[in-house]
Structure formats: structure tokens, C-alpha cells
């Protein structure tokens, strides 16, 4: 038996690291070339977490903010995904691709190049609530299958326009062949589709040559961390990275109103029972709220006519 074969046997027989109940957020500055699924798997392994997920897929060719939820934080993922997103992206003029980015093959080309005034005049048509046809190579499901799976198999993919909201779209810089834009948009907006439609409207075609996400909901580059930095920390923590390396679960809910309850109220909520709030300090609004006990996240609840109705319960320590 070779030494290499013996090493494989020893490695396979070695006990796997024990998973931990760890909860919080990692705001990863994802590098180009890595899939979102792979990024989640790496973070989950480094923290030895039992459960992990992400708040919004980022294409392999894109870099930037990929919020990764561990443990109880996965219950707050929808609130992050519904938040506003910001991007910086470069459009290469003259070619449209089947994927609307640099990974695809060219399906249309032009020698025309847009003037700055023409770009500026067009941008207001791409702000506000607009109808957008998603890229054929997207994760949207058609009869239970992802559009990109059908497109890769050579099937004709026809996606219907969808209403999306683009809060801001501005031209930052340009050369003859490329233009750098910044955009702030809501859930479901495809930057690749913006580039494609800009090129078509300007009569020159275009595709995304580079894309960087700079914000997702409450998370941005200022509270992000690179994969190299996390791996360096992990090399110094053989038993798994500590909770202190995570942002608290409640960070994802900063846009929600917070309501404080006492221990009796918290106990009722954790048992699935409603809680009636009385007195002059009771909220006067209705809707989703984050329920806190002594600074710790207890539940997500609906507040309706003076009562808290629990939706999600959290099992957190002092860092909730």
C-alpha cells in the first residue's frame, strides 16, 4: 500500500469535527469566481455551524456583499432579501451575450458607441418602478425548472416582464467602449438586464463586464469581511470560530420596529401565545415587529390591535 493510500485511509477514519449551535451573520466580501453555494459551505465549515444559508445569490463573476446567516439568523433571511441592494457595474458596449454578461457568447454586435449625453438622457427611463425581462440565464423557475438549466440545454426560454424598482441609476465614468454605473434597487432586479436593455435602447448593444454588490439591506462593505481574513482567524481557532466573529442575529432586523416585553410576555410568545400590550408606552402602529427582552431578540411577531402574535421564535443567548 502506498503512503498516499494510507494517508487517505487515516483521513477517512479520523472523526469529523463536531458541529456547533452558532448563530449570527457573516457579511462576506465574496471574491470573483466563487459561487454563493460554495461560499456558504466554506463559512459553515470554518464556524463548524449546524445550519447556514445566504440572503441573495451573487453570480460567480460578481464580487461583493454576500450576507451569510448561521443558525438562528437563517430565520431572518427574508427580511434581508427584501431590503434594498446597491451595485457598481461596468457595461461593455458593442456586444450583447446570451447570458448578458462576459461569460456568455455574443448574439448581437454593433460598431456604434453611445455619447455621454445619450446615456444621461436615457437613465430616467430606468428609474422608479419599471417592467424588466429577466435574463434567460437566471434562477427563475419555469414549470419547476430553473431558467438557466433550460437555457444551457439549448431550449428556447421566454420569461415574462416583471415589475422591479430601481431607486437610483447613475453614470460614474465612461470610455469609448465601457461605462461604469452605480445602482440602488429593490428585490428581484437584475443588473445584467439593465445593461442589456441600456445597450438595446442606445442602439449599440451591451453586457455586464464587471459587477460588484456593495449593499444588501443593512449590510455593506463597511461591516464586511474577506474570505482570506476569515480563514486567517479560523487557522487560529481550531475548535471553530467564536460567536464574537459574527454580527448579532438582530442586525438583520434594524429596519423593523422593536417592541420590548418582560419575562412573562416573552414566555407566552415562546409558547406560541399572543401578548396584549397596554399602557401609554404600547405601540400605536401595526405590522411586523422585532420583540426584545433585555436587549435580546425573542421573536418576530405581528402587532395587531394591541396584541403581539408570534411568527418566529429565537433561541439565543445574550448576543441575540
Q: Could you list the active site residues?
A: 59
d(CA 110, CA 57): 31
Burial class (CB in 10 A: 0-12, 13-18, 19+), 246: buried
Instruction: List Cβ neighbours of 137 (8 Å cut-off, separation of 6 or more).
Output: 98, 99, 100, 104, 147, 148, 151, 152
Q: 242: burial class by Cβ within 10 Å (0-12, 13-18, 19+)?
A: exposed
The Cα 303–Cα 34 span in angstroms is: 41
Q: Rounded distance, CA 69 to CA 56, Å?
A: 11
Contact partners, residue 26, CB within 8 Å, separation at least 6: 43, 47, 67, 68, 70, 225, 230, 245, 246, 247
CB 47 within 8 A of CB 40: no
Write phi, then psi, for 219 (nearest 5 degrees). -100, 135
| Ramachandran region, residue 71 (left: φ > 0; alpha: ψ -120 to 50; beta: rest) | left
Question: All 3 cell numbers of residue 267?
Answer: 414566555
Per the CB < 8 A criterion, the answer to whether 212 and 195 are in contact is no
Q: Are 191 and 169 in contact (CB under 8 A)?
A: no
Amino acid at each position: 500500500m502506498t503512503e498516499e493510500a494510507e494517508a487517505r485511509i487515516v483521513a477517512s477514519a479520523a472523526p469529523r469535527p463536531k458541529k456547533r449551535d452558532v448563530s449570527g451573520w457573516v457579511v462576506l466580501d465574496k471574491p470573483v469566481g466563487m459561487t454563493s453555494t460554495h461560499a456558504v459551505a466554506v463559512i459553515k465549515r470554518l464556524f463548524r455551524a449546524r445550519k447556514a444559508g445566504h440572503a441573495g445569490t451573487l453570480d460567480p463573476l460578481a464580487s461583493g456583499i454576500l450576507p451569510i446567516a448561521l443558525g438562528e439568523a437563517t430565520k431572518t433571511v427574508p427580511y434581508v432579501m427584501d431590503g434594498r441592494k446597491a451595485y457598481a457595474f461596468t457595461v461593455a458596449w458593442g456586444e450583447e451575450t446570451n447570458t448578458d454578461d462576459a461569460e456568455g457568447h455574443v448574439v448581437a454586435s454593433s460598431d456604434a458607441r453611445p455619447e455621454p449625453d445619450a446615456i444621461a438622457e436615457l437613465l430616467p427611463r430606468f428609474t422608479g418602478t419599471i417592467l424588466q425581462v429577466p435574463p434567460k440565464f437566471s434562477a427563475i423557475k419555469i414549470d419547476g425548472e430553473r431558467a438557466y438549466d433550460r437555457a444551457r440545454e439549448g431550449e428556447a426560454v421566454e420569461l415574462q416582464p416583471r415589475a422591479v424598482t430601481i431607486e437610483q441609476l447613475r453614470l460614474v465614468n465612461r470610455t469609448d467602449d465601457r461605462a461604469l454605473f452605480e445602482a440602488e434597487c429593490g428585490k428581484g432586479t437584475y443588473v445584467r438586464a439593465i445593461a442589456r436593455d441600456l445597450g438595446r435602447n442606445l442602439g449599440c448593444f451591451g453586457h455586464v463586464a464587471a459587477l460588484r454588490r456593495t449593499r444588501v439591506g443593512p449590510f455593506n462593505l463597511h461591516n464586511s469581511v474577506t474570505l482570506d481574513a476569515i480563514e486567517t482567524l479560523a487557522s487560529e481557532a481550531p475548535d471553530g470560530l467564536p460567536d464574537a466573529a459574527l454580527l448579532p442575529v438582530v442586525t438583520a432586523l434594524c429596519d423593523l420596529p422593536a417592541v420590548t416585553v418582560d419575562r412573562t410576555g416573552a414566555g407566552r410568545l415562546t409558547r406560541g401565545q399572543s401578548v396584549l400590550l397596554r399602557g401609554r408606552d404600547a405601540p400605536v402602529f401595526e405590522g411586523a415587529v422585532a420583540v426584545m427582552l433585555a436587549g435580546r431578540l425573542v421573536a418576530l411577531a405581528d402587532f395587531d390591535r394591541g396584541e403581539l402574535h408570534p411568527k418566529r421564535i429565537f433561541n439565543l443567548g445574550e448576543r441575540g
